[in-house]
Copies of this chain bind each other. A is one copy, B any other.
Amino acid sequence: MKKIINQVDHMVDEMCQGMVKAHPNQIQYFAQYKVITRQEMKQNQVALISGGGSGHEPAHAGYVGYGMLDAAVCGDIFASPSSIQIYHAINQVATDQGVLLIVKNYSGDCMNFDTAAEMAEDDGINVKAVYVNDDIAVKDSLYTIGRRGVAGTVLVEKIAGASAERGDQLEEVYRLAQKTVDHVKSIGFALNSCTVPAKGTPTFELGDNEIEFGVGIHGEPGIERRTMQSAKALANDMLDQLVAELSLVTGDEVIVLINGLGGTPLHELYILSNEVHHYLNHLGVKIEDTIVGNYMTSIDMAGASISLLKTDEEIKTLYNFPVKTIALNK
């Protein structure tokens, strides 16, 4: 294993320190609980918190800022932050308007975020949570009951973040976050495995011409191993499944997120995006906007995912609300 690190045990802390030193006007870092918050805390709006295992950067610390999150809680690589970490984050950013937790649907994350929410409610803080489960590849998986939360989480954070920033009440921010969860679906594939630093070897092995179709963002198994295909064939297969899941028909509108898993060159993502546009144009589905890049990664995995968010006027208005974070700016 070759990685640009010092010690495996220190890498999440050193990453957070590196982030806050690079962006001192935007974020601050509470090292004891590995919590990153905005530099300027909100006063009278709903506060939004996400987090989870590290290794998915820029998720979630890269989305802390105006129009998105108020705090990100950083667990170890691919391990949920503890309930104590999350409880600390809630205390750090909570306002009288309450707190919304945006949780990717993994059993460990759900348990720890729920425990932290109960602790904070005992303190009189109003807390609600949504559980993102956008990955349509498999139901029940390693670490998960139900469907996994993957790149669609970024869009949930964007929409809910806009709702909170414009001053919506907690019930309304929650409703819009849950509506986004209900309308965003994703599926991905891996060309090779990630290497978790603490393990030091690839999580799984793929043949020279083999891919894992439907892979999870921790290297969990997907739908099947299959022979490598063209960008067009991959896009078409993924979109057949996404379109069916969202019941998309001519005249519908979507936001597209073409997400790299960490080790994929940007030009390959744009080639995939080109095929997604071909497919959706042919179907008569309007594309409101397209985001292309590394937004929810799996360490150094080569591969990509496609997320579609079915939009309406309400979601589009929030999507087009300004956002100023490290990783997403509009």
Contact = CB atoms under 8 A, between A and B. Distances in A.
A277 B2 contact: no
Interface centre among A14, A234, A269, A271 (most CB of B within 10 A): A271
A85 interface: no
Contacts of A18: 269-274, 277, 292
Interface residues on A, range: 35 or more
A315 interface: no
A139 interface: no
Interface centre among A18, A22, A329 (most CB of B within 10 A): A18
A114 B215 CA distance: 48
Interface centre among A3, A192, A211, A297 (most CB of B within 10 A): A3
A11 interface: yes
Contact of A4 (B22, B231, B297, B299): B231
B4 A269 contact: yes
Nearest to A274: B18
Interface string A220-244: 0000000010111010000000000
A265 B12 CA distance: 13
Interface centre among A208, A231, A275, A299 (most CB of B within 10 A): A231
Nearest to A235: B4
B211 A267 contact: no
A171 B71 CA distance: 47
A101 interface: no
A329 B323 CA distance: 12
A142 to B, nearest CB: 21
Interface in A242-294: 256, 258, 262-275, 277, 290-292, 294
Contacts of A191: 2-4
A297 B19 contact: no
Nearest to A3: B268
A228 B2 contact: yes
A4 B292 contact: no
A204 B11 CA distance: 29
B271 A14 contact: yes
A263 B302 contact: yes
B54 A290 contact: no
B57 A4 contact: no
Interface of A: 2-6, 11-12, 14-19, 21-23, 54-55, 57-58, 62, 191-192, 208-209, 211, 228, 230-232, 234, 256, 258, 262-275, 277, 290-292, 294, 297, 299-300, 302, 304, 329
10 contacts: A2-B208, A18-B272, A22-B270, A22-B273, A57-B266, A58-B266, A265-B300, A266-B297, A267-B299, A294-B294
